[in-house]
């Protein structure tokens, strides 16, 4: 009887594990918000670097690498610093770009499109790069934003472990909030290293995700105009 219970328990765990692995391999995200713990930023950045360095050294050691080798010696520190201060810096709200708005004095009421914004992110299921282009459009409601700010908003949300759908929506929602308009569109076209360098090893496929709000959602003409500018319209 005892044995049977144990067996069932193990099966339960295996089932949970199977579905967790499926979510990761299929790149399904679970929420619009990045899943962060409440105490995510209690620890300061320097302590995070120190701890990640220690753990990454352990990973390399387990893999059998000789950490006394001059070429490898500094790797745990470099990786830790890169995680905290560069590629995952967008996790921390203190790094969120302040968006300055300007009054639209010349009454430009047409669509503004910024295309081919290069971004680099990381797949949250494999921690390998996702990279590609973002195309963003909005229709001004009287205020305009400095163009470099749009890039910075894309980079901020990209610098997190991500799924592309969530990244696209986070950028779209932030632009709506900052610009005070519903009329925002975002398209992201990206390569996933977890698809190209492992798993199915497909080096050619890219993934396109879109976010349409306000006029871009309700008015086909606005949406087509945007797609025409970024040349994705069939
Ligand atoms: Zn992945």
* CA distances (Å), origin 159, targets 20, 133, 140, 198: 24, 14, 27, 22
Handedness of CA 201, 133, 116, 232 (dihedral sign): positive
- How far is the centre of ligand 1, averaged over its atoms, from the C-alpha of 22 (Å)? 11
Residues written for the chain:
234
The reported pLDDT for the residue numbered 143 is 85
The reported pLDDT for the residue numbered 15 is 54
Helices 147-158 and 164-179, packing angle to 10 deg: 140
Q: Do 135 and 113 meet the contact criterion of CB atoms below 8 Å apart?
A: yes
The reported pLDDT for the residue numbered 147 is 83
The reported pLDDT for the residue numbered 13 is 54
- How far is the centre of ligand 1, averaged over its atoms, from the C-alpha of 190 (Å)? 12
Residue 161 tokens, joined:
């472990």
pLDDT digits (tens, 9 = 90+) for 12-69: 555 566 677 777 776 677 788 999 999 999 999 999 999 999 999 999 999 999 999 9
CA-based Rg of the chain, rounded to a whole angstrom? 22
In the predicted model, residues of the chain with pLDDT beneath 50 are 1-8, 234
Taking residue 135's Cβ as centre, other Cβ atoms within 10 Å add up to 22
126 marked ligand binding residue: yes
**Residue 155 is a catalytic residue:** no
Q: Is 22 helix (H, G, I), strand (E, B) or coil?
A: helix
Q: How far apart are CA 151 and CA 213, in angstroms?
A: 19
The reported pLDDT for the residue numbered 30 is 73
**Residue 125 is a catalytic residue:** yes
**Residue 120 is a catalytic residue:** no
Domains and CATH numbers, the chain: 42-86 (1.10.286.10), 100-231 (3.30.1130.10)
- How far is the centre of ligand 1, averaged over its atoms, from the C-alpha of 203 (Å)? 14
Taking residue 188's Cβ as centre, other Cβ atoms within 10 Å add up to 27
**Model pTM score:** 0.86
Q: How far apart are CA 142 and CA 3, in angstroms?
A: 70
DSSP element (H, E) containing 38: none
- Of 27, 114, 122, 125, the active-site residue reads 125
The reported pLDDT for the residue numbered 156 is 98
122 marked ligand binding residue: no
pLDDT digits (tens, 9 = 90+) for 148-159: 999 999 999 999
- Of 27, 122, 126, 135, the active-site residue reads 126
Can you say whether residue 199 is alpha, beta or left, with left for phi > 0 and alpha for psi between -120 and 50 degrees?
left
């Amino acid at each position: 009887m005892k044995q049977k219970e144990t067996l069932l328990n193990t099966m339960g765990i295996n089932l949970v594990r199977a579905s967790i692995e499926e979510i990761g391999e299929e790149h399904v995200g679970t929420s619009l918000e990045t899943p962060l713990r409440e105490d995510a930023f209690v620890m300061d950045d320097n302590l995070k670097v120190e701890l990640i360095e220690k753990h990454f050294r352990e990973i390399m050691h387990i893999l059998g690498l000789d950490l006394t080798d001059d070429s490898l010696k500094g790797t745990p520190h470099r990786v830790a610093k890169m995680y905290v201060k560069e590629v995952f810096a967008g996790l921390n709200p203190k790094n969120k770009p302040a968006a300055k708005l300007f009054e639209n004095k010349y009454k430009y009421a047409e669509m503004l499109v910024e295309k081919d914004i290069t971004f680099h992110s990381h797949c949250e299921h494999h921690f390998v790069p996702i990279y590609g282009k973002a195309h963003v459009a909005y229709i001004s409601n009287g205020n305009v934003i400095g163009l470099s700010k749009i890039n910075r908003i894309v980079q901020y949300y990209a610098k997190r472990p991500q799924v592309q759908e969530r990244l696209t929506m986070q950028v779209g929602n932030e632009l709506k909030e900052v610009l005070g308009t519903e009329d925002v569109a975002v398209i992201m076209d990206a390569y996933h290293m977890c698809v190209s360098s492992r798993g199915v090893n497909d080096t050619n496929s890219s993934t396109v995700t879109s976010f349409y709000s306000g006029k871009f959602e309700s008015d086909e003409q606005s949406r087509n105009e945007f797609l025409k500018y970024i040349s994705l319209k069939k």
